[in-house]
Amino acid sequence: MNDTCFPLLSFGSIRGTRASVDRWVVSASLLPLLLTGQIACSSESRRESPTIKADQTSTGGVSGNDSTTVPLAGSDFGYGGDQSYNSTGGQSSGQAGTTTARQEEEGKCGSIGATAEMELAEVDIIWVVDTSGSMIDETERIQRNMDTFVAEISASGVDTRVVLIAQLDIVPPNSNLAQSGNYIYVNDQIDSHNSLDRIVETFSRYSSFIRETAHVHFIIVSDDESRYLSLQTPEERASQFQSDIEAILDPDFSVHAIASESVGGFPCVPESDEPEFVKCCQDSALTFWIIPAVGCEGYTDRMLLECPFLGGAFAPGLTYYALAANTGGVAMSICQQDWTEVFGSLRDAVIESAPLPCDYAIPPPPEGEVHDFSKVNMKYTPHGVDPATVQPYPRVNDAGRCGNNAAWYYDNNDAPTKIILCPAACERVGSGDGGSVTVLFDCAPVILV
């Protein structure tokens, strides 16, 4: 097979360091058009397409090719399986499961330059901050970093809203976030143990600010452990909270924890130039530092004077860590002195949660050019997969022909303006795994009949 189609439009996420640009232009060298801002969707709810405007450049004409026609399969059809179909519609050997379509005919594709102006992906971030007396340092760190944190997410092409639930409004009134109209403060008493309870009980006070099309991120900051609904174990508390949130919140959500990890059953303490002494304080805590642990006898005189004042957390936040693990969130130690890594990890997790769009607007061609809508392909490349190994998703005639197939169709077969993904394809593309979508024009297409 010699697939010589060139991408006109390519929509993808950049993992790790994110580009802070909103517009890319396809040049004469046929570089892909990469949209770093992503638009959330699901198989049940579609989002607005990126709006794409034609550029006044052309990089080639159109050469005709026959299409690859594939019969409707009973199983799911699209990227990811071991079965394949040849150009005549016959099924080649392979294991049962998801099937792939293959273009066997050679073809040379033209491409037309385009500029994309995209709608933004949406994320709603809910900070829940324990502002009890032991959290003064942590509260100040959040206050110093909040504006930059939100600005970096927004600069990556994400439409961001922020809710703060706390006893103290730590977002300065003259900050960019406070002035943006994308921030609300919910005044509520968050103490050492009730963060999860208050998220649920105050939901009616911020629910109207949460968008159904956004991915929601709860960021919980506490130096203690949850006592949610007085349940006995961290696993029970995490499971019940997740169920309770799913019952009242429609969008997908993640929970992130800035809390204490378990250090041999004890809470964390701040980084120290004397790690041996810190460990002795932890190991001797059960005796209130009166009797030093084995190997700590040399610190006996210092323990009573210094160990109670080392700071750090009061208890491991095991419930919060369990929630982060269950919902694909990140968990970070509250004892870190440099919170650059903390905010960087949160920023990347929020950005990467924004999935690709499921509708793609077709740009009008430049003057003197025309699209041949019978020769269009669409590919989805999951993160980490070699694009050369990915086969196009097939086209079906209309939404009624989608079934369980990972395929696509036009909004109007007579005068197409959009490429629309079938629910199965939308679910894959909308998974937020950092993959990319490429729309190929003027190529031998793959058609599901």
DSSP-assigned beta bridge partners for residue 126:
163, 218
Q: What is the 3-class SS of 211-223, one letter each residue?
A: CCCCEEEEEEECC
pLDDT for 297 equals: 93
- Domain range list for the chain: 1-69+105-118+357-449, 121-269+313-352, 271-310
Q: Would you tell me how many other CB atoms lie within 10 Å of the CB of residue 204?
A: 8
pLDDT of residue 399: 94
pLDDT computed for residue 440 by the predictor: 79
Q: Which of 216, 254, 38 is nearest to 123 (CA)?
A: 216
CA distances from 420 to 156, 320, 361 (A): 24, 39, 9
Give the per-residue pLDDT at 118. 38
Residue 46 to residues 247, 394, 430, Cα–Cα distance (Å):
22, 20, 10
What count of Cα atoms within 13 Å lies in the side-chain half-sphere of residue 322?
A: 17
Please give the Cα distance from 96 to 188 (Å, whole number).
55
Q: What is the pLDDT of residue 279?
A: 81
Q: What residues contact residue 131 under an 8 Å CB cut-off, 6+ apart?
A: 139, 166, 167, 168, 170, 190
- Report yes or no: 311 and 334 within 8 Å, Cβ to Cβ: no
Which residue's structure tokens are 């929601």?
A: 216
| 0.75 exceeded by pTM | no
Superfamily of domain 121-269+313-352: von Willebrand factor, type A domain (3.40.50.410)
CA distances from 114 to 199, 370, 374, 443 (A): 45, 13, 20, 17
Residue type, 380: Y
pLDDT in tens, the chain (449 residues): 444 444 445 544 433 332 222 222 222 222 233 332 222 223 333 434 333 333 322 233 223 334 443 333 322 222 222 222 222 222 333 333 333 333 333 344 444 333 333 356 789 999 999 988 889 889 999 999 999 999 999 988 789 999 999 999 999 999 999 999 999 999 999 999 999 999 999 999 999 999 998 999 999 999 999 999 999 999 999 999 999 999 999 999 999 999 999 988 888 888 766 878 888 887 888 888 999 999 999 999 998 888 877 777 889 999 999 999 999 999 999 998 889 999 999 999 998 887 667 888 887 776 777 888 888 888 888 878 998 898 899 999 999 999 999 999 999 999 998 899 999 998 888 665 667 788 877 677 777 75
Q: Cα–Cα distance between 3 and 239 in angstroms, integer? A: 48
| Per-residue pLDDT, 432 | 58
Residue 273: the pLDDT is 61
